């Protein structure tokens, strides 16, 4: 455990200036156990339904209506004497987690997306998105309408982002692996809401992650300020007039927080601070009123800084000449393979077949009216439906996670305490209660997990190998 004596003098002096008489209370809080949170996936169920399924007396996160505090039972999964129905209560080893019903997220990290004012139909950009907490939260507010562009510069981190997007069942999404400078050349004044959870020194995470502290000793706050301002500058180009930009960090450093914002505001007269009410234990910044910090000695969460900015002008879509040119390139798609059409007809929804796009035998369902530019590196464009093979269509895991129980004509729905659920998640063959031939959707208590290929009662497992229960 990190001790106060381990902190650099410059850090302790800065915190004393920031906190005054509360400094000792802050230091004491660092020796307390960090809080764990889960956030309901509103695309799939309500918070009350989640509490009912997990059978927990959750305490709510005050500033996020769909967020809860969670206390993990230690040693549950490694104790043979514990009964199966008790084992599955572990939050990260629960079938409902694999069904994408909730996201495990530090409570303070739920704040930026919650204050962005995202509503169905918005075009939203999460610019520094991995591993995906804020993006999945933004998508849940969109409710399948509008567009989410979620980006991360790191090729390795974007893999975790992709998984979390697909587990959550999100389809109105573009996942990019790009430098913000490249995105801003394409998405000119395109987005209604932008979230910039910027790379930072991580002072607010010292209690939670000793690796962050070690990295901090090697770099410190000054390393990040140029990066933060650069990202903000590119975000400004992509926000519509009248749009909202949320800037957040998990650090207390006034150099990175107020300093980066002041630098940005001095060079962008069309942006002003949109005040966040200092409630729930949030502390308003004295240097930049209207912005807030979250301290672990004042609330149940880790350290965070959050600011909400408004861009002047009226809310209207502005599409550049280049954007118009790219949109006009779109043509009506070629006739779709019969195998794909027959499979899609099994799913009870109104497909817009003009949005089905095939690339190298892989079929995608593109977000409605989304701007997709060939100059950018897209990891995912909409919903990956599956692969077209000789005389058949092979549906993929992302599609299964997007399908609702009542959209499939004959789902194999199992209760969470059925041992076949864990067998399925481990990739094993399972037996159905009834006979059927063909692809079938497996669900846990009415929520999709993945596909099987059933022959009579035997179900060959199609659950994605990279996601399997370990």
- Average pLDDT, stretch 4-25? 92
pTM of the full structure = 0.93
Q: Please, is 284 exposed, middle or buried when counting C-beta atoms within 10 Å of its C-beta (0-12, 13-18, 19+)?
A: middle
- Average pLDDT, stretch 185-193? 98
- Average pLDDT, stretch 334-358? 93
The confidence band for 325, taking pLDDT boundaries of 50, 70 and 90, is very low
- Residue 385 resides in a domain: no
- Residue 345 resides in a domain: no
Q: Is 152 annotated as a binding residue?
A: yes
Q: Is 133 annotated as a binding residue?
A: yes
Quote the pLDDT of residue 214.
85
Q: Is 128 annotated as a binding residue?
A: yes
Quote the pLDDT of residue 334.
60
- Average pLDDT, stretch 47-73? 90
The answer on pLDDT for 293 being more than 90 is yes
Q: Is 132 annotated as a binding residue?
A: yes
- Residue 311 resides in a domain: no
The answer on pLDDT for 329 being more than 50 is no
CATH number at residue 454: 2.30.130.60
Radius of gyration of the chain (CA): 24
The answer on pLDDT for 74 being more than 60 is no
- Average pLDDT, stretch 403-425? 96
Annotated catalytic residue 250: yes
Quote the pLDDT of residue 227.
95
Quote the pLDDT of residue 84.
43
Lowest-pLDDT choice from 162-166, 315-319, 361-365: 315-319
Q: Is 235 annotated as a binding residue?
A: no
288 versus 74: which is more confidently predicted?
A: 288
Structure tokens at 141: 């507010």
Q: Is 179 annotated as a binding residue?
A: yes
> Residues 334-340: contacts with CB within 8 Å, 24+ apart?
334/358, 337/388, 337/393, 339/388, 339/389, 339/391, 339/392, 339/393, 340/385, 340/386, 340/388, 340/393
- Residue 212 resides in a domain: no
- Average pLDDT, stretch 293-314? 96
Q: Is 129 annotated as a binding residue?
A: yes
- Residue 255 resides in a domain: no
- Report the side by side order of strands in the sheet with 447-461: 412-414, 430-444, 447-461
Quote the pLDDT of residue 316.
56
- Residue 423 resides in a domain: yes
Those residues with Cβ within 8 angstroms of residue 355's Cβ, 6 or more apart along the chain or in another chain: 365, 366, 367, 368, 382
324 versus 207: which is more confidently predicted?
A: 207
Please give the tally of structural domains in the chain.
1
The answer on pLDDT for 350 being more than 50 is yes
- Average pLDDT, stretch 386-405? 96
The answer on pLDDT for 328 being more than 70 is no
The answer on pLDDT for 323 being more than 80 is no
Half-sphere exposure of 452 (CA within 13 A, CB side): 31
Q: Note the pLDDT tens digit of each residue in 96-121.
A: 999 999 999 999 999 999 999 999 99
Q: Note the pLDDT tens digit of each residue in 77-99.
A: 333 444 445 545 578 899 999 99
Tell me: cis bond preceding 131? Omega within 30 of 0 counts: yes
Residue 461 belongs to domain spanning: 403-467
The answer on pLDDT for 327 being more than 90 is no
- Residue 312 resides in a domain: no
Lowest-pLDDT choice from 38-47, 148-157, 333-342, 432-441: 333-342
How far apart, in whole angstroms, are the C-alpha atoms of residue 155 and residue 220?
24
The answer on pLDDT for 215 being more than 70 is yes
Quote the pLDDT of residue 213.
84
The answer on pLDDT for 76 being more than 60 is no
Quote the pLDDT of residue 335.
85
* Percent above pLDDT 90 for the chain: 81
Q: Is 130 annotated as a binding residue?
A: yes
Q: Note the pLDDT tens digit of each residue in 232-250.
A: 999 999 999 999 999 999 9
Question: Which of 450, 460, 465 shows the shortest CA–CA distance to 95?
Answer: 450
Quote the pLDDT of residue 81.
41
- Average pLDDT, stretch 439-465? 97
Quote the pLDDT of residue 324.
46
Do strands 123-126 and 191-197 pair parallel, antiparallel, or not at all (unpaired)?
parallel
How far apart, in whole angstroms, are the C-alpha atoms of residue 302 and residue 110?
11
The catalytic position among 200, 250, 443, 459 is 250
- Residue 429 resides in a domain: yes
């Amino acid at each position: 455990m990190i001790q106060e004596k381990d902190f650099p003098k410059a850090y302790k002096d800065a915190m004393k200036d920031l906190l005054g008489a509360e400094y000792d209370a802050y230091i004491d809080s660092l020796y307390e156990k960090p809080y764990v949170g889960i956030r309901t996936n509103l695309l799939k169920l309500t918070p009350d339904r989640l509490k009912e399924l997990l059978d927990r007396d959750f305490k709510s996160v005050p500033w996020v209506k769909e967020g809860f505090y969670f206390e993990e039972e230690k040693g549950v999964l490694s104790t043979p004497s514990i009964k199966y129905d008790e084992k599955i209560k572990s939050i990260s080893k629960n079938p409902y987690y694999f069904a994408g019903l909730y996201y495990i997220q530090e409570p303070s990290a739920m704040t930026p997306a919650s204050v962005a004012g995202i509503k169905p139909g918005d075009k939203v950009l999460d610019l520094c998105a991995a591993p995906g907490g804020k993006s999945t939260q933004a998508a849940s507010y969109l409710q399948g309408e509008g567009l989410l562009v979620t980006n991360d510069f790191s090729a390795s981190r974007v893999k975790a982002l992709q998984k979390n997007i697909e587990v959550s069942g999100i389809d109105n999404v573009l996942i990019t692996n790009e430098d913000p400078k490249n995105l801003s050349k394409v998405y000119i004044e395109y987005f209604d809401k932008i979230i910039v959870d910027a790379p930072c020194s991580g002072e607010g995470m010292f209690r939670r992650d000793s690796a962050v502290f070690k990295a901090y000793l090697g770099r410190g706050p000054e390393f990040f300020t140029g990066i933060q301002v650069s990202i903000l500058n590119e975000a400004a180009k992509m926000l519509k007039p009248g749009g909202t930009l949320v800037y957040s960090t998990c650090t207390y450093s006034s150099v990175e927080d107020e300093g980066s914002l002041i630098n940005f505001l001095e060079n962008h007269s069309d942006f002003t601070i949109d005040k966040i009410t200092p409630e729930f234990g949030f502390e308003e910044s004295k240097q930049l009123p209207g912005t807030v910090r979250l301290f672990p000695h004042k609330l149940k969460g880790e350290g965070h800084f959050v600011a909400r900015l408004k861009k002047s002008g009226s809310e209207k879509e502005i599409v550049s000449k280049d954007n118009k040119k790219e949109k006009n390139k779109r043509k009506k798609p070629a006739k779709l393979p019969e195998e794909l059409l027959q499979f899609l007809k099994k799913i009870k929804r109104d497909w817009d077949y003009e949005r089905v796009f095939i690339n190298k035998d892989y079929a995608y369902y593109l977000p409605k009216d989304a701007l997709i530019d060939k100059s950018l590196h897209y990891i995912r464009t909409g919903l990956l439906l599956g692969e077209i093979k000789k005389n058949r269509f092979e549906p993929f895991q992302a599609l299964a996670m997007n399908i609702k129980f009542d959209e499939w004509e004959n789902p194999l729905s199992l209760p969470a305490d059925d041992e076949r659920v864990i067998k399925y998640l481990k990739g094993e063959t399972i037996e159905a209660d009834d006979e059927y031939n063909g692809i079938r959707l497996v669900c846990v208590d009415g929520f999709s997990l993945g596909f099987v290929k059933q022959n009579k009662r035997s179900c060959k497992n199609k659950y994605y190998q990279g996601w399997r229960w370990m």
